[in-house]
Amino acid sequence: MNFKVLKKSKKSRARLGIIETPHGVIHTPAFVPVGTQATVKGLTVDQLKNIGVESLLCNTYHLYLRPGDKIIKKLGGLHEFMNWDRPIWTDSGGFQVFSLGAAIEHRVGKVASIFPKIGNQKSHRPIRANEPITDHHHEKFARIMEEGVEFRSHLDGSKHLLTPEKSMAIQKNLGADIIFAFDECTSPLHDYQYTKKSLERTHRWATRCLRTFEHRTSNLERQGLFGIVQGGVFKDLRVKSAKFIGALDFDGFGIGGSLGKSKKEMYKILDWTVPLLPEEKPKHLLGIGSAEDILEAVERGIDTFDCVLPTRLGRHGSTLLTASGVALDVKSGRYAKDKKPIDKKCGCYACQNFSRAYICHLFKAQEMLGPILATIHNLHFMEKLMERIRKTI
């Protein structure tokens, strides 16, 4: 993995760059769609390529449990398994620790106050958890120890221990181009003391990840490993984390964990941390994908983003229209006779070929093609947004 900064903005920390991987390049700033279970829900890899998607992020936790990283390795790795020959990212599984543990306990997600209401979920529920949240989830699923995290599978209740070493081994088996160090993602409701204790552990885990990682890889075509900056909403902890993680021999960095209770807090966290990280290395903002946040974060020096938001919104019939967050609820009865496309200025397959009325009908009739077309539109929207951002830098 290699990263080059091609151009820097004069007005902000925004920069134009290119990440080179064994499976091709990623032009940054880039949005990375999520294919949790080795598939972007409903779309073929050809449809993703037609949209212009350059890379995907898959979830280590989910693939470790099903079908299993060893099976994927046997089948030639994630790229061959899902037949995606462009770059792949995998997360560390750490976010799921948060989803199964504190997030459920605290009933919050990554940025508690800005979760859009989706379907019948309440806004303060952790919408990033991939399974519907039911009462039995409130039993704490994850136990965090120095060694790692013991958790129960959401699929069959089986017990597992995920450690930094194991996360690295799993991600090695999956074979993504860019992988993440194992971390604990704290909740916005965790206090200073807990966040500090957790941060120190995450730092020790980061060191363990690097040790395992370097030990295991030597060839030129090795995976890129990103370290993750934690520290919640506390300035001194974020600064400490950025300095510590930034000094380690990672190929890039993620800003993770609780990003506060408001967009403003999130932007502050970026202001505290990004300038302390090595400038020449790529920086990824984990789990953030609203257009507005992306614009703000790019100006603060973030190069890449991953988020389920555009695909999830699409599956629920919410189709993105403007960078300021305006969306059209195409499944609403008000569009039942509307001949216009979702967005008449949009060049995506859905907008070029189908009316709001048709897509509305598909949602009402619970036809798969509804979510598919809305997802295509939303991912195309994100690609065009990133293209525009890259042009303005």
Residues tagged in the binding site annotation:
91-95, 183, 230, 257, 346, 348, 351, 377
Overall residue count recorded for the chain in this entry? 393
**Cα separation, 294 vs 169, whole angstroms:** 31
We find the least distance from the C-beta atom of residue 39 to its own copies, in angstroms, to be: 5
CB of 21 to its own copies, least distance (A): 21
Nearer to its own copies, 138 or 337 (CB): 337
Amino acid 12 reads: S
Q: Is 211 in the site for its own copies (CB under 8 A)?
A: no
Identify whether the C-beta of residue 166 lies closer than 8 Å to the C-beta of residue 126: no
Q: Is 389 near its own copies (CB under 8 A)? A: no
66 binds its own copies (CB under 8 A): yes
Q: Which residues are annotated binding-site positions for substrate? A: 91-95, 183, 230, 257
Whether 306 sits among the annotated catalytic residues: the reply is yes
Q: Could you tell me the smallest distance in angstroms from the CB atom of residue 339 to its own copies?
A: 6
Using alpha carbons, list the distances in angstroms from residue 236 to 111, 192, 275, 328, 351.
Answer: 19, 10, 14, 41, 47
Annotated binding site for Zn(2+): 346, 348, 351, 377
Q: What's the min distance (Å) between Cβ of 367 and its own copies? A: 5
Q: Nearest approach, Cβ of 75 to its own copies (angstroms)?
A: 5
Angle at 56 between CA 101 and CA 154, to 5 degrees: 25
Q: Which of residues 91-150 bind its own copies (CB under 8 A)?
A: none
Applying CB under 8 A, among 75, 145, 161, 247 the residue interacting with its own copies is 75
Residue of 24, 336, 388, 392 interacting with its own copies (CB under 8 A): 336
CB nearer its own copies, residue 208 or residue 356: 356
Residues 63, 68: Cα–Cα separation, whole Å: 6
Quick one: tokens of 262? 């408001």
**CA 131 from centroid of its chain's CA atoms:** 16
- Who contacts 180 (Cβ-Cβ below 8 Å, separation ≥6)? 89, 90, 91, 92, 94, 171, 225, 226, 227, 228, 254, 286
Q: Where are the alpha helices (DSSP H) in 35-88?
A: 45-51, 60-65, 69-74, 78-82
Question: Any catalytic annotation for residue 91?
Answer: yes
Among 83, 123, 322, 392, binds its own copies (CB under 8 A): 83
What is the smallest separation between the CB atom of 361 and its own copies, expressed in angstroms?
Answer: 5
For every residue of 137-192, DSSP letters joined together read: GGS--EEE-SS-EEEE-TTT--EEEE-HHHHHHHHHHHT-SEEE-------TTS-H
Q: Is 247 in the site for its own copies (CB under 8 A)?
A: no
- SS3 of 2-38: EEEEEEECCCCCCEEEEEEECCEEEEECEEEEECCCC
* Phi, psi (rounded to 5 degrees) for 86: -100, 175
Interface with its own copies (CB under 8 A), residue from 5, 8, 37, 207:
37
Nearer residue to its own copies within complex by CB, 18 or 357? 357
Which one is catalytic: 69, 303, 306, 343?
Answer: 306
Stretch that binds its own copies, among 11-19, 78-86, 324-332, 384-392 (CB under 8 A): 78-86
Residue 90 or 273 having the CB closest to its own copies: 90
Which CB sits closer to its own copies, 146 or 156? 156
Question: Is residue 48 close enough to count as binding its own copies by CB under 8 A?
Answer: no
Query: Segment 350-379, which members bind its own copies (CB under 8 A)?
Result: 353-355, 357-358, 360-362, 364-365, 367-369, 371-373
Which residue in 69, 91, 177, 293 is the catalytic one? 91
Count of residues touching its own copies (by CB under 8 A): 39
Distance CA 393, CA 390 (A): 5
Name the minimum Å distance from CB 113 to its own copies.
31
d(CA 136, CA 138): 5
The stretch near its own copies (CB under 8 A) out of 76-84, 182-190, 201-209, 217-225 is: 76-84
Catalytic residues: 91, 306
In the complex, the residues that contact its own copies under the rule CB under 8 A are 37-39, 41-46, 62, 66-67, 71, 74-76, 81-83, 336-337, 339, 349, 353-355, 357-358, 360-362, 364-365, 367-369, 371-373
